[in-house]
Amino acid sequence: MKPFAYQRAEAADSAVATVARAGAAFLAGGTNIVDLMKLGVTAPDLLIDVTGLPLRDIEALPDGGMRVGALTANCDLAIDPVLRTRFPAVALALLSGASAQLRNRATVGGNLMQRTRCRYFVDVTKPCNKRQPGAGCAALDGEHRDLAIMGAGNGTDRPARQPLCIATNPSDLAVALALVDAQIELLTANGPATMSVHEFFRLPGDRPERDTNLPPGALITAVVLPATPIARMSTYRKVRDRSSFAFAAGSVAAALDVRDGIVRDVRLAYGAVAHRPWRAYAAERLLRGQAATVDSFERAADEELAAARPLRDNAYKVPLIRNLTVGVLRGMTEASW
């Protein structure tokens, strides 16, 4: 491991000014960045430990929303009674992540900034466009069972070229935040700023080295969950190779409002299918106003998954996500009877 300096942040603005310099990085729970430093995937000269900053409050906002400090531990947020009532999908997504020990240490901001688990990204002996732009993508013809089926630039949007990166975003929390249109509060070198979760995450396009649109050196200070009545009836279901301590093979976050057998409103977001959490807008559009039946749920999932461009070994994700969508919506419909 390359030697590095360590400093505790005294204040958020000075921490941002320091990390805006090349070679410095924030340290929160350390559950991702330290592993990547040991593997040689990242090698900052200086770690600024932000865990002493006062960014751990969980506030229930009077309008029905919530504001969560970026340094809140995943375990503390997951068990918050207001979160579990107003945004159960967010609590379930957190509880499905990692292990209890990791959730005690991992923070909300760090979870959103964690890097992909693509095995070629974390193996410095293999070419990876995300780690080293222009190096190539060993996953395309290699082990890509866990990797993206949507939005990688393969297929219709760039038919003449291979995608540059088929990494997936590993965060469960991010999928639930996409469901509720969360806002990310930041402190940048130019002052406070806010981005929607949809602007924050990105597809790889021609710049796969960038996971997010976070301005360089910016600190995530909080995540705001806007008041979302439909989110009270929301859930998160994750499929993985073993029942604990594993990243998703595929996941679905869903919120549903069914009255008199008709879908009044619905939201859907998919995890482990793309470089970003994938909001299933096409499926949502098709479902609104339709009968809440298995047939409608299947047609909606098919509509969304028409954009999938699976590779040799990850085509199983298409029926996986389809079945998850139908199963989750069916269960929520029956629960609303």
Q: Does 30 bind ligand FAD (CB under 6 A)?
A: yes
Residue recorded with tokens 């310099």: 21
Distance CA 54, CA 71 (A): 8
Report CA-CA distances (Å) from 286 to 101, 156, 281, 304: 41, 22, 9, 9
C-beta separation of 194 from 183 below 8 A: yes
Verify binding: residue 249, ligand FAD, rule CB under 6 A: no
CA 308 centroid distance within chain: 18
Q: Is 69 in the site for ligand FAD (CB under 6 A)?
A: no
Alpha carbons 167 and 203: distance in angstroms, whole number: 10
How far apart CA 275 and CA 168 sit, in angstroms, is 4
Site for ligand FAD in 282-321 (CB under 6 A): none
Q: Which is nearer to ligand FAD, 156 or 243 (CB)?
A: 243
Q: Does 107 participate in binding ligand FAD (rule CB under 6 A)?
A: yes
Beta bridge partners, 253, equal 236, 269
Structure tokens at 133: 């732009």
Question: What is the closest distance, in whole angstroms, from the C-beta atom of residue 207 to ligand FAD in the complex?
Answer: 17
Kindly tell me which residue out of 16, 27, 140, 255 binds ligand FAD, with binding defined by CB under 6 A: 27
Residue 58 binds ligand FAD (CB under 6 A):
no
Supply the minimum distance, in Å, between the C-beta of residue 306 and ligand FAD. Answer: 27
Picking from 166, 184, 43, 44, the residue whose alpha carbon sits closest to that of residue 113 is 184
Site for ligand FAD contains 172 (CB under 6 A): yes
46 or 102: CB nearest ligand FAD: 102
Which of 68, 77, 83, 106 is in the footprint of ligand FAD by CB under 6 A? 106
When the beta carbons of 5 and 335 are compared against ligand FAD, the nearer one is 5
70 lies in the binding site for ligand FAD (CB under 6 A): yes
Choose which of 16, 24, 32, 166 interacts with ligand FAD (CB under 6 A): 32
Task: Work out which of 66, 77, 89, 98 binds ligand FAD, going by CB under 6 A.
Answer: 98
Q: Which residues contact 47 (CB under 8 A, 6 or more apart)?
A: 4, 5, 6, 7, 24, 25, 26, 27, 33
CA 200, 57, 6, 14 torsion: positive or negative? positive
| 250 interacts with ligand FAD by CB under 6 A | no
Is residue 169 within the footprint of ligand FAD (CB under 6 A)? no
Asked whether 282 and 303 are in contact (CB, 8 A), the reply is yes
Cβ closest to ligand FAD, residue 153 vs residue 170: 170
CA-based torsion, 171, 176, 181, 186: positive or negative: negative
Binding status of residue 26 toward ligand FAD by CB under 6 A: yes
329 is written with which tokens? 């919506």
Q: Which stretch binds ligand FAD (CB under 6 A): 79-87, 168-176, 190-198, 225-233?
A: 168-176
Contact by Cβ (8 Å): 131, 117: no
User: Using CB under 6 A, which of 69, 88, 110, 151 touches ligand FAD?
Assistant: 110
List residues binding ligand FAD (CB under 6 A). 25-33, 70, 97-98, 102, 105-107, 109-111, 113-114, 170-173, 219-220, 245, 247
